[in-house]
């Protein structure tokens, strides 16, 4: 973005100036998980990625909340101080990450995807968190269900290499530069 998210035009669209931000014909929305839900509701041919059935949707939402409130949150709590503030690694915070991956591993027990047996937006959100942790060196192989799911996601998510993995490599490059 090279600072584009700090321009007056961007801040008018999104006062938080966070990324990602979607501008869909004047409708502006930020926070990636909200964007995922909106895009499926607005443009998908069916509801397989974000079911309309209240119970199925609630399970997808629960996994989205787990991602932002636990999985990704704990990743940020541990890694961001190391990279952005040059703080020492905190073993207690690493234990929290490990616990969150134990939860994810349990969620995946006996099912193919995080919210059941079909791909949903929860998988799309969580694969981003898992791939980000993996690219900076977190060992997901200690969690067999997560590892199996992650390998499957690399194959079934359209554009995974071009979009997600490319972004992870950029994130890694940035983190490597910050740690020097």
CB atoms within 10 A of CB 75: 21
For the domain spanning 4-43, the CATH number is 3.40.30.10
CA distance 22 to 26: 9
CA distance 130 to 154: 11
Asked if 37 and 50 count as a contact pair (C-beta separation under 8 A), the reply is: yes
For the chain, the domains span 4-43, 54-178
Asked if 77 and 129 count as a contact pair (C-beta separation under 8 A), the reply is: no
Instruction: Note the pLDDT tens digit of each residue in 110-168.
Output: 999 999 999 999 999 999 999 999 999 999 999 999 999 999 999 999 888 888 888 88
Instruction: Note the pLDDT tens digit of each residue in 45-59.
Output: 889 999 999 999 999
**Under CATH, to which class is 54-178 assigned?**
mainly alpha
Residues in the chain: 180
Q: How far is CA 7 from the centre of its chain?
A: 26
Q: Is the dihedral of CA 133, 116, 163, 156 positive or negative?
A: positive
Instruction: Note the pLDDT tens digit of each residue in 11-67.
Output: 888 999 888 999 999 999 999 999 999 999 999 988 999 999 999 999 999 999 999
pTM of the entire predicted model = 0.90
């Amino acid at each position: 973005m090279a600072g584009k998210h700090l321009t007056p035009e961007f801040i008018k669209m999104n006062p938080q100036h966070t990324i990602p931000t979607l501008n869909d014909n004047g409708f502006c929305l930020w926070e990636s998980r909200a964007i995922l839900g909106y895009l499926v509701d607005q443009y998908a041919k069916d509801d397989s990625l974000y079911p309309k059935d209240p119970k199925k949707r609630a399970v997808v939402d629960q996994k989205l909340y787990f991602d932002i409130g636990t999985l990704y949150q704990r990743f940020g709590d541990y890694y961001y101080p190391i990279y952005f503030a040059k703080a020492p690694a905190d073993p207690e915070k690493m234990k929290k990450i490990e616990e969150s991956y134990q939860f994810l591993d349990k969620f995946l027990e006996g099912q193919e995807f995080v919210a059941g047996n079909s791909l949903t937006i929860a998988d799309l959100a969580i694969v981003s968190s898992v791939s980000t942790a993996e690219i900076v060196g977190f060992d997901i192989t200690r969690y067999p269900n997560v590892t199996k799911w992650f390998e499957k996601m690399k194959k079934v998510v359209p554009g995974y290499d071009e979009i997600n993995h490319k972004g992870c490599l950029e994130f890694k490059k940035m983190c490597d530069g910050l740690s020097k």
